[in-house]
Amino acid sequence: MDFNLTQDQKMVRDMVREFAMNELEPIAAEIDESREFPHASMKKMAKLGLLGVVIPEEYGGAGMDFTTLAIIVEEISRVCASTGVITAVNNSLAAYPIYHFGTEEQRKKYLPLITSGKSLGAIGITEPNAGSDPASMETTAVLDGDHYVLNGTKCWITNAEGAGVFVIFAYTDAAARHKGMSAFIVEKDFPGFSIGKHENLMGIRATGNTELIMDDCKVPKENLLGEEGGGFKVIMHTLDVSRIDIGAQGVGIAQGALDAAVKYSKEREQFGKPICEFEMIQDMIAEMATQIDAARLLVYRSASMKDAGAKRFTREAAMAKYYAAEVVVDVTRKAVQIHGGYGYSKEYAVERMYRDAKIIEIYEGTSQIQKIVIARNELR
């Protein structure tokens, strides 16, 4: 296994790091407070090719690999977890399934919209009664002439406020359970489609997270994504890909927290010397750095498997996501601890990072779901 990044990957990492420091970091606290979706940042990111990283150039993408996408999500999340997950969702939960499962017409019509940022992408899987168990979703799609008619409500939809193109899942045959679910590409302006209440979240607050409501929503027949009845496999494969990026988001937040803790520990003096000279602080810093490196290696491993063309990397993506979640919650807690009372205040970014970290244990499959996936693979 090659642990070195390629020249291209290093170049993209440095470019995104500079962009994130100059453009995203200065507004991260502000958008966390206001919950304002970062439309202006998205326009800038589109120009840099960050909204269609793995999508081939013929569809407006940057034609790069999945490891580079993980690096980009990490670098952005290091300074702004909201913008990090908006990037991850747009790339791996919206553009990727349309590219991977879509027809040529669907690719040509929708990918340039998503990659250019004209219409960002989002995905609608979760419902009020279907979280860890997406097969229990209640949204239905009934074929009526040349349209499907969708009815149902989706919730906790990241990017919803900023998006124009949604990948939505519904039952075309509820009795067939996993084999009766289908995926659809739904435009924001389709009749019967509307955005519901804007959630007031604990962290990742600027992600435009809302409900989606489909009330006799008319979706053209040609917007079926993949085969009728193939929707559950679209969800599972897409989540395998995007869990790599949520792992990367966790690594990025954790790295940002470690950087802040190291800086603060050198500046803050107690008992007549900088607190970084105390071994209990060094103990925490050593643990944080090691945890982050281990999580990053798991993220890179799963991304490089996808890059190498592996058909299944379910276990490795689940491990990366699960472990990065453990790490980011622990590392941000330690970063707040190193900052003491100041870390508990909004004056310091680690307060926001600690709140942002928690979601990594929850979305795109809770840590308990990742463990089920990993254990099922071990027991097979």
Helix (H) or strand (E) holding 120: strand 120-124
Residue 149 CB coordination number (10 Å): 18
**What phi and psi, each to the nearest 5 degrees, are found at residue 325?**
-65, -45
User: Rule CB under 6 A: which of 65-94 touch ligand CAA?
Assistant: 85, 89
Q: Which of 74, 127, 161, 364 is catalytic?
A: 364
Closest distance between ligand CAA and the C-beta of residue 316, in Å?
A: 11
Q: Does 233 bind ligand CAA (CB under 6 A)?
A: yes
Chain centroid to Cα 105, Å, comes to 26
Binding to ligand CAA in span 142-201, by CB under 6 A: 156, 158, 178
Which has the closest alpha carbon to 221: 265, 263, 190?
190
CA–CA gap between residue 292 and residue 75 (Å, rounded): 13
Q: Which is nearer to ligand CAA, 132 or 282 (CB)?
A: 132
Interface with ligand CAA, residue 127, by CB under 6 A:
no
Binder to ligand CAA among 48, 195, 372, 374 (CB under 6 A)?
A: 372
**Pairing between strand 140-144 and 181-187?**
unpaired
Residues 157/209, Cβ–Cβ less than 8 Å:
yes
Q: Are 314 and 243 in contact (CB under 8 A)?
A: no
195 vs 289 by CB, closer to ligand CAA: 195
- Is 105 labeled as catalytic in the residue annotation? no
How many residues touch ligand CAA under the rule CB under 6 A: the total is 24
Residue 145: which H helix or E strand, with range?
none
Nearer to ligand CAA, 171 or 264 (CB): 171
Contact between residue 184 and residue 139 where contact means Cβ atoms under 8 Å apart = no
Determine the residue with CB nearest ligand CAA. Answer: 365
What CA–CA distance (Å, rounded) separates 338 from 333? 9
From the list 35-43, 210-218, 234-242, 253-261, the region that binds ligand CAA by CB under 6 A is 234-242
Six token digits for residue 366: 């809770």
Could you say which of 96, 314, 325, 361 contacts ligand CAA (CB under 6 A)?
314
Per CB under 6 A, 240 contacts ligand CAA: yes
Question: Could you tell me the two tokens for 260?
Answer: 């802040």
| 106 is an interface residue for ligand CAA by CB under 6 A | no
CB of 337 to ligand CAA, least distance (A): 28
Instruction: State the catalytic residues.
Output: 364
Residues binding ligand CAA (CB under 6 A): 85, 89, 125-126, 132-135, 156, 158, 178, 232-233, 236-237, 239-240, 314, 363-365, 369, 372-373
